[in-house]
Amino acid sequence: MGSSSKFSLSSTKPPSLEVKDLWFRYSKSSEWVLRGLSLRLYPGEVALVLGASGSGKTTLLRAITGVGRWIYGGDIRGTVLLGGTPLEDLDIDGIRRSIQVVNQNPYTHFIEHLVGRDLLSAATQLYGEELGYRVFTRVTTALKLEGLLGRRFFELSGGQLRRVAVAKALLWDPKVIVLDEPLMWLDDEGVADVVEAVYVAKSLGKAVLIFEHRFLRLLHLADSVYILRKGVLHEVEHDYLKKLQRFLKLGRALQGGSAVKPSGRLLLLAEDLWFRYDKREDWLLKSLNLEVREGDTTVIYGANGSGKSTLLKILSGYLKPSRGRLELGSRAIYIPQNIYLFFTEESIEKEFEAACRSRKLGRQCVERGVGYLKALGVAVNLEESPFNLSWGQAVRLAVAVATAPSESSVVLLLDEPFTGLTYLERLQVAESLAKLGNTYVITTSNVETLALTPSARVFKLVEGTLEKLEGSLNGGALEAAKLCKALGIEVGLGVEN
């Protein structure tokens, strides 16, 4: 546990956020999620809080904003000071002017569909028409949002969306901005967007608290790093994380993409595929070719909006290509990015039963599925709801459910299965996939995840076509630099360190 008083520049000012001996539990629960947690954050300082799924990161956020008490009816003990004022002495307007949150799902921040209209109406609400317009202009200029103001929020990429959400938070001129898993669902470019937004907030003197699994890309921004474990924050030595960053990025993170020659039975053949949703739009996929053989793992890397999800839906046979030929030699199952949308039943056992029943299979199929689930390291009660599982467990359950009814091969099409997972959970999921030996087509928007599937063939989806990434990608700064160049990534991989 530690405080942040080592930073001489900021320590002369009172902390923007001070948490002392904080305890929190939800209503109807006897278990304390936070157990005597302390934290101090000064103006212009960035703190990064790491922690496994379910460690209480979101609960901490709820406790320090009052959401835990006023929305969830939780029991809170200890002290939360926002700009020196106790949380309980602030009215709702005072809380909003002290602390703002960009939550995991930034879609929920918007009321008006047009970005500019939404931000302007929020600014006008706060400052009146004339001053509101000036504040709106200043904030949108600082975050370089001019090109996004005329667009609808649900048309933006994840990174753009979070940049706009940070702008909305900044309109309040709060002392503290909290970002809850800001890198979730973001591609490498989106990560750069978020990093830039955090820089702007920091330079404006805001204290920034970030909760994130994918911490490597944010480490260079953080003045202090904590791990939330068993309801208590433990400060991590920064130098140690720096070393870890270098090791992960230059060593393991770049071992993916070896030039494996597919040899099994042909299960999926896409030849000269073209696709667009509407005749008046540009082609999303252009003259795309892909061959998937039994036991293959094919990874498709591409930015958000590059057409990866659409490609998976075409490969599954759900969407028809506008032109070209698609041959499916086996069943294909699509596992969506929002993993919980895959489940249709109220218990894990019923998930297996429904999937087996759809193939006219009985108890044996269900037991096979349960066996797969155990082999994948998910030890849960079969009566439990799939919607209560952690993200990583849910991905593995989806794979087991999809595989159980298949006497023969099945092609599993996984849309961003590693998103929302800690580094360790990613490894567990990747190992689980390899263990079942299925045929996989996996999409990803993060170069870091390429290392998780070392025997996969890796393609980059760019401008509607697939480019195979060939050559040795194993370790070393030179290879790392080459890969970064091939993938078009300018920043953030750490090779420049």
Shorter beta-carbon distance to another protein: residue 116 or 262: 116
CB atoms within 10 A of CB 233: 25
Please tell me the distance from the alpha carbon of residue 4 to that of residue 15, in angstroms, as a whole number. 10
Is 53 a residue that touches another protein (CB under 8 A)? no
Binds another protein by CB under 8 A, chosen from 9, 71, 131, 382: 71
Considering only 49, 209, 267, 332, the residue that binds another protein (CB under 8 A) is 332
- Rounded CA-CA distance 449/419 in Å is 9
Does residue number 461 form part of the binding site for another protein (CB under 8 A)? no
Shortest CB 418 distance to another protein, Å? 18
- Sort strands 465-468 and 457-462 into parallel, antiparallel or unpaired: antiparallel
Alpha carbons 61 and 176: distance in angstroms, whole number: 11
Compute the Cα dihedral for 477, 479, 482, 488 and give only its sign: negative
Q: Rounded distance, CA 151 to CA 133, Å?
A: 18
Which residue, 333 or 461, has its beta carbon nearer to another protein? 333
Q: Quote the least distance from Cβ 377 to another protein, whole Å.
A: 22
Counting contacts by CB under 8 A, is residue 67 touching another protein? yes
Q: What are phi and psi of 138, to 5 degrees?
A: -65, -45
Q: Find, among 395, 403, 414, 412, the residue nearest to 309 by Cα.
A: 414
Report, in this order, helix, strand and coil percent for the chain, each rounded to 5: 40, 25, 35
Question: In this chain, which of 101, 179, 414, 466 binds another protein, going by CB under 8 A?
Answer: 101
Point out which span in 63-71, 428-436, 438-446, 466-474 binds another protein (CB under 8 A). Answer: 63-71
User: Which of 144, 152, 234, 482 is close enough to bind another protein by CB under 8 A?
Assistant: 152
Q: Minimum Å distance from CB 455 to another protein?
A: 25
Taking CB under 8 A as the rule, does residue 333 contact another protein? yes
In the complex with another protein, which residue's Cβ is closer, 239 or 281? 281
334 is a contact residue toward another protein (CB under 8 A): yes
Give 176's strand partners: 99, 207
Using N-to-C axis directions, what is the helix angle for 391-403 and 348-358, rounded to 10°? Answer: 30
In the region spanning residues 297 to 326, those forming contacts with another protein, defined by CB under 8 A, are: 310, 313, 316, 318-319
Q: Cβ of residue 2: shortest distance to another protein, in angstroms?
A: 28
Q: Are strands 176-180 and 99-102 parallel, antiparallel or unpaired?
A: parallel
Q: What is the DSSP letter of 400?
A: H
The mark string for 371-400 relative to another protein (x by CB under 8 A, - otherwise) is: ----------------x-------------
The verdict on 95 binding another protein (CB under 8 A) reads yes
According to the binding rule CB under 8 A, does residue 341 interact with another protein?
A: yes
CB of residue 411 vs another protein: minimum separation in angstroms?
10
Closest alpha carbon to 118 in 154, 94, 75: 154
Half-sphere exposure at residue 16, Cβ-oriented, CA atoms within 13 angstroms = 25
Q: How many CA atoms lie within 13 A of 146 on its CB side?
A: 5
Among 41, 47, 90, 122, binds another protein (CB under 8 A): 122
Q: Are 322 and 287 in contact (CB under 8 A)?
A: no
Sign of CA dihedral 121, 127, 133, 137: negative
Candidates 234-242, 275-283, 291-299, 486-494 — which segment interacts with another protein by CB under 8 A? 275-283
Does residue 128 bind another protein (CB under 8 A)?
no
Binding flag, residue 354, another protein (CB under 8 A):
yes
State in angstroms the smallest separation of the CB of 277 from another protein.
Answer: 4
- 474 CB neighbour count, 10 Å cutoff: 14
Interface contacts to another protein, rule CB under 8 A: 62, 65-67, 70-71, 92, 95-96, 99-101, 103-105, 107-114, 117, 121-122, 124-125, 150, 152, 154, 168, 277-278, 280, 310, 313, 316, 318-319, 332-338, 340-346, 354-355, 358-359, 387, 401-402
